[in-house]
Amino acid sequence: MDSTKDLIIVGGGPAGYSAALYAARASLDVLVVEHGMAGGQIATSDIIDNYPGLGSCSGAELGQKMQEHAEHAGAQSTYGSVSSIDRKDDMFIVNTDMEQLEAPALIVATGATPRLGGFVGEDEFRGRGVSYCATCDGMFYRGKHVFIIGGGNSAVEEAMYLSNIAEHVELVVRRDVFRAPRGMVERLLTRDNITIRYQTSIIEVSGSTFINRIVLRDNATGETHAEMFDEGSVGIFVAVGHDPATQIVAPYVDLGSDGGVVTDESMATKTPGLFCAGDMRSKSLRQVITAAADGAIAAMSAYAYLEESGRI
C-alpha cells in the first residue's frame, strides 16, 4: 500500500468512518487508521437504539457496517496505533507502531476514553472484580451481584444490560439525581432486580484474588461502612464518563474547558489541514449521530482545503 494519501483519518468510530465515506465518495485517496474494532466506543455498546431509521442494532454491528460502507465507496483501512503526528513541509506525518504514513490533510477522530472511579483498590482489582465495560465482561457475573458506579447514560445502559445477566444490580449514584434523562431512569425502575443507592460513593475495595469487601460512603452524612461478599461473587462496573482522547493532536490544537479539541463549524483546528471530529471535540452532545455528522463535515472541509491549496 502506498504510504502517501490525500487524506488520513485517525480513528475508526462513527466519526472516522463517516468522514471516510464522504471523502471516498468525493474521490479522495483516503486511509483510516484504527487500533481496535471498527466502531470505537460503540463497539462495546450492547444496543444502539437512537440512530434515526436504524431501529435497534448492536454497536459492534453498526461499527462494522460503517466500515464496510466506507470501504465499498473506496476508502481503505489499516491497523495501527498512532503514537505521534509530525508536520513537515505542509505534510502530516502519522507515526504508527506499524508504519509511517503521510498526507496533506488529516482528520483525527480518536473519541474518548473511560474515566476512573478513583477508589482505593481500583487499579489492583482491575479485571479481578473491577471492569469498565458491561458488554465485554458482563458474562463473568452471571447470577452474581454487581455494582455500577455512575448516574449518566452509560451507567443506566450498563445497568439495563447487566440486569439480564446478574442476579442483583445496584446503581451507586454520588448525588441525589441522575445525569441521564428521566425517560431512561424510568425504564431502569421497571426492572425488579435493579436498586439504586443515591448519594453514595464506593471509596475502597479489597480482597485476595477477587474482591470480597466494599467500603461505601453516605455522601449526605459522610458516614462509611463496609459490606462483605463471597470472593468472586461480586463485581464493580465503573461508568463515570469519558475524557476526550486528545494526546496525539495536543501540539496542534486548542482545548476547551471540557478537555475537548476546539474546532470551528467546519471541524477545522488552528492548524491548517488538521480537522477533528466526534467525541474528542469540545461539544455539548456526544452521540453516534453527532459524531457521524462531524465526520461528514470534516471530510467536506478537508476536500475544500485540498482543493484550495492545489493538492488535488
Dig out the grid coordinates for 192 from the structure.
425488579
Catalytic, 57? Answer no
- 286 interacts with ligand NAP by CB under 6 A: yes
State how far the Cα of 22 lies from the Cα of 304, in Å rounded to an integer.
Answer: 12
Positions 151 through 170 that interact with ligand NAP (CB under 6 A): 151-155, 157
Quick one: 8 or 155, whose CB is closer to ligand NAP? 155
Nearer to ligand NAP, 28 or 291 (CB): 291
224-252: buried (b, 16+ CB within 10 Å) or exposed (e) per residue? eeeeebeebbbbbbbbbbbebbbebbeeb
* 118 counts as binding ligand NAP under rule CB under 6 A: yes
Q: Are 94 and 103 in contact (CB under 8 A)?
A: yes
Sort strands 224-228 and 211-218 into parallel, antiparallel or unpaired: antiparallel
Using CB under 6 A as the binding rule, whether residue 63 contacts ligand NAP is answered as: no
* Binding residue for ligand NAP, selected from 109, 149, 160, 268, defined by CB under 6 A: 149
Enumerate residues 264-283 that contact ligand NAP by CB under 6 A. Answer: none
Site for ligand NAP in 209-268 (CB under 6 A): 239-242
Question: What DSSP designation does 248 have?
Answer: G
Instruction: Out of 50, 100, 224, 309, name the contact with ligand NAP by CB under 6 A.
Output: 50
Number of CB atoms found within 10 A of residue 82's CB: 22
Known catalytic membership, residue 46: no
Three-class secondary structure of residue 182 per DSSP: helix
Q: For residue 234, what are the CA distances in angstroms to 124, 129, 188, 217?
A: 15, 7, 20, 18
76 binds ligand NAP, rule: CB under 6 A: no
How many beta carbons lie within 10 A of that of residue 58, not counting itself? 16
Smallest distance from ligand NAP to CB 176, Å: 10
Part of the chain binding ligand NAP (CB under 6 A), chosen from 11-19, 150-158, 211-219, 295-303: 150-158
Nearer to ligand NAP, 50 or 209 (CB): 50
Report the site for ligand NAP in 190-209 (rule: CB under 6 A). Answer: 201
Residues that bind ligand NAP (CB under 6 A): 50, 117-118, 149-155, 157, 174-175, 179, 201, 239-242, 286-287
